[in-house]
Amino acid sequence: MLAFIGQRGTLWWHAHVLWLRVTVHGAIVNLPKLGVPYLFPKPNKEVVLVLGEWWKSDTKAVINQAQKLGQAPNVSDAYTINGNPGPIANCLANVTSGSREKYILKIVNDALNEELFFRIANHNLTVVGVDVVYVKPFTTDTILIAPGQTTNAIITTTQKVGKYLVAVSPFMDAQIGVDNLTTTGSLHYSGVVASTVTNLVSLSPQNSTKVANNFINSLKSLNSAKYPAKVPLTVDHSFFFFTIGLGINPCKTCVNDNRVVADTNNITFVMPKTALLQAHYFNISGGFTDDFPSKPLMPYNYTGIQPKNFATNKGNFNPNKDPKTFNLVVPVERNTVGVPTGGWTAIRFRADNPGVWFMHCHLEVHTTWGLKMAFVVDNGKGPLESVILPPSDLLKC
């Protein structure tokens, strides 16, 4: 048994080597402490739904081929819900009909490269938590979930005894190739007979920016006395301004004499030979450099559409105007945040955990292309604010 302090909700564990996380992953369900109730009526049952992506080929071959050619990797051949790429005779969950029957869905997006829409026929979803925080509950018919994120949502099974489609499909509003398939499963009410026809639902089109924004804008932290939002109201180091994007590097052996790369402030991450934490802890020179530019080297000018929003927006960030629109009262605390295509996201964090921390894109293809960097958080005062000694059996190579 593991006890999490100050965190509640669902976490996602995953491999971080090559594309192995495609199958090496799962959910860590973090229940309230014994005797501490949920903030909502206790659900009758909890259902963990891990959404994933599936390739006919070995994913290692897929990414290796892409890297060799310098091109984008093949998109997946299907999405999965709990490992199933399509409807199965069995169902995802059996539920009972009744106005007091509540089920909590713990949804994890483990897809490698796609943000996903999630919906259930004839059922609204009340979102109560994301990652490991409670949120101000809100009702929606569609959940948007990015790779690495988790969402806890409650459904009430007040519908007629029947079968209800559960559907998952991608959200992508840029002109790039995605796996555009939908995968489905079903929810069965007890008493349903095998021949019952499933109630269907259609998902929003792939480019539904509005549906995606509606969901993102509905997320507010609970900010109650017991679960305050703890927003850092002042900042010591304002504006690390990171532009993330794709580019091309010359590559003589690639198809078009160049390869696709991804960068942060025009710097593409190259995997080091020595682990960054080791290099930092043991003062190994040459392990990494600490001259990462805190802003882009040239003005970044993206010209796009500009829907109104608060701390996530399309178009160029305006350092004079946009900070005034930041939500400093009830922003949601997450470990993964979506950055809109051609847009920006502003985040604040407390550097209260010494060590070396990766900040990277959770679309695995971008991470492979180098969209990653690391923060070194120096030791503070005393042992509680210092990196602990490495274990005595730390591997030497």
Residues that bind ligand NAG (CB under 6 A): 57, 61-62, 65, 74, 90-91, 93-94, 122-124, 139, 141, 177, 180, 205, 207, 266, 281-283, 297-299, 301, 303
Query: Which is nearest to 316 in space by CA: 295, 301, 296?
Result: 301
In the complex, least distance from residue 189 CB atom to ligand NAG, rounded to whole angstroms? 10
Nearer to ligand NAG, 266 or 325 (CB): 266
| CA dist., res. 157 & res. 101, Å (int) | 6
In the complex, least distance from residue 329 CB atom to ligand NAG, rounded to whole angstroms? 24
Nearer to ligand NAG, 266 or 353 (CB): 266
| CA dist., res. 294 & res. 378, Å (int) | 17
Helix (H, G, I), strand (E, B) or coil at 197: coil
In the complex, least distance from residue 179 CB atom to ligand NAG, rounded to whole angstroms? 8
In the complex, least distance from residue 238 CB atom to ligand NAG, rounded to whole angstroms? 20
Nearer to ligand NAG, 180 or 238 (CB): 180
For residue 300, CA distances in Å to 291, 307, 322 come to 20, 19, 16
Nearer to ligand NAG, 335 or 341 (CB): 341
Structure tokens at 343: 């847009």
Strands 183-189 and 163-171: antiparallel
Given a contact cutoff of 8 angstroms between Cβ atoms, the answer to whether 159 and 97 are in contact is yes
- Full DSSP string of 46-73: EEEEEEEEE-SS-HHHHHHHHHHHTSPP
Nearer to ligand NAG, 202 or 266 (CB): 266
| CA dist., res. 225 & res. 333, Å (int) | 16
User: Which residues have CB under 8 Å from 298's CB, separation 6+?
Assistant: none
Nearer to ligand NAG, 297 or 394 (CB): 297
In the complex, least distance from residue 310 CB atom to ligand NAG, rounded to whole angstroms? 21
In the complex, least distance from residue 45 CB atom to ligand NAG, rounded to whole angstroms? 9
The residue number with the shortest CB distance to ligand NAG is 57
In the complex, least distance from residue 13 CB atom to ligand NAG, rounded to whole angstroms? 22
Nearer to ligand NAG, 233 or 389 (CB): 389
DSSP 74: P
H or E segment at 14?
A: strand 9-14
Nearer to ligand NAG, 74 or 97 (CB): 74
Nearer to ligand NAG, 234 or 303 (CB): 303
Given a contact cutoff of 8 angstroms between Cβ atoms, the answer to whether 335 and 131 are in contact is yes
At 323, give phi and psi (nearest 5°).
Answer: -55, -25
Taking the C-alpha atoms of 192, 196, 197 and 202 in order, what is their torsion angle to the nearest 10 degrees? 0
- Full DSSP string of 360-383: E-SSHHHHHTT-EEEEEE---SSG
In the complex, least distance from residue 17 CB atom to ligand NAG, rounded to whole angstroms? 18
In the complex, least distance from residue 124 CB atom to ligand NAG, rounded to whole angstroms? 4
